[in-house]
Amino acid sequence: MRTIDLEDIPGVLGGLPENPRVVVSGNFATPRAALDAVDAALPTYRLHALNAQPGLPDREGVTLETAFVGPGMRRSPRLVYIPSRLSLVPRLFSVTCPPDVVVVHTSVPVDGKVSLGIEVNILPAAIEAVRERGGIVIAQVNARMPYTYGDAEIAVDLVDVAVEVDAELPSPGAMVIDDVSATIGDRVATRVADGSTMQLGIGAVPDAVLSGLTGRRGLRVWSEMFSDGVLELDRAGALDPDATLVSSFLFGSPELYAWVDRNPRVQLLRTETTNEPSLIAKQPLMTSVNTALQVDLYAQANASRVKGQIFSGFGGQTDFIVGALHSPGGQAILALRSWHPKADVSTIVPMIEEPVTSFQASAIVTEYGQAWIWGYDQKSQARHLIRDAAHPDVRDELWEEARALKLA
């Protein structure tokens, strides 16, 4: 690993093919300074990032490519969406999306290694693929990036050049748990037993679920990501002190970042490990909590599209639902509001018109109750959804639609 200045980055990009593919750390670890330097040096290129946040280069000449659409790409006319389960995204780099440049955000070196810190995800596979092709790995080395273990650690020999920065890591704003989210969180929490293994995302409902679990004991974490709620569980004594906390990326407060720094209990693993359904299925009492934009009377969920346009993607939902359902005592929960406040429509609909993201979770939980799904016949599933999860204002309409669909 050779340290250079930002203005020297164009000099290491010579010899790239026309319209090269640049893979960059996504989520909340994007190496802004290094990426801006790459962007200034390349008139045209494909930018591949997972769950890109606002502020990425978005101009003529840049093709924005992803398997999970974040707010930094969502409304761009240059977006190219590649449908894929998250567990399979790393395979894309050796099949249809070979990278020419990988730009990562790392810790400072320690004993011949740097750490990918709060974002591992698809990056190890991208680094392996670009090294095999003779491409370039650029590291933005940041003294503020925590040093995390597991697949986060990479040898400095795998990095061609590094640029040094001193940049604060992003943190979420104060999360307000409203009454509806709190009610949903309480309902989900009642389904979680001592000794369960948890997978949750970020947001008001996941935070509300975690707040309701502080009285549990022996909880484990095997998740695509986690935030400050896990730290609160640890402080409350709810976590199994002997179990490793497994995740693929993190997003939280400076306090969380300080807690994970060189913490051997936390292992950040590559996506094809954290999201592998067979490994998820091995976790005791695996409890997967995800959300959706819509659920229909066939218990199909749409978590990906709005009015025909891609909103996010499959993400890890399909991986974790399958894995949790195969775990002994496991369960896959979809938690969502019964009514979409912005669109002013019911989230429980007769039949989804969008491409389906997932189906047949264990239960659908809203502020009005828990609709049991798995193991019931299709008429019972529809009855549970209408009676126990739908907003009261649409139940009569849903019963009418259910009869037309021969589900009632």
The 10 Å CB-count burial string (b at 16+, else e) for 269-296 is bbbbbbbbbebbbebbbbbbbbbbbbbb
Report which of 180, 259, 177 is spatially closest to residue 226, judged by C-alpha positions.
259
Dihedral class, residue 254 (left if φ above 0, else alpha if ψ from -120 to 50, else beta): alpha
Q: Which residues pair with 138 in a beta bridge?
A: 103, 161
Long-range contacts of 190-193 (CB under 8 A, 24+ apart): 191/287, 191/331, 191/333, 191/363, 191/365, 191/370, 192/216, 192/219, 192/287, 193/285, 193/329
224 is catalytic: yes
Q: Which of 119, 128, 153, 224 is catalytic?
A: 224
Contacts of 269 (CB under 8 A, 6+ apart): 120, 150, 151, 246, 247, 248
User: Would you say how long the chain is, in residues?
Assistant: 408
The DSSP code sequence of 169-234 is PP-PPPPP--HHHHHHHHHHHTTPPTT-EEE--SSHHHHHHHHTTTT--SBEEB-SEE-HHHHHHH
Q: At what angle do helices 228-235 and 204-211 cross, to 10 degrees?
A: 10
Both tokens of 384, joined, read: 């549970």
Report which of 9, 286, 307, 266 is spatially closest to residue 151, judged by C-alpha positions.
266
Q: Return phi, psi of residue 334, to 5°.
A: -105, 120
Active-site residue set: 224
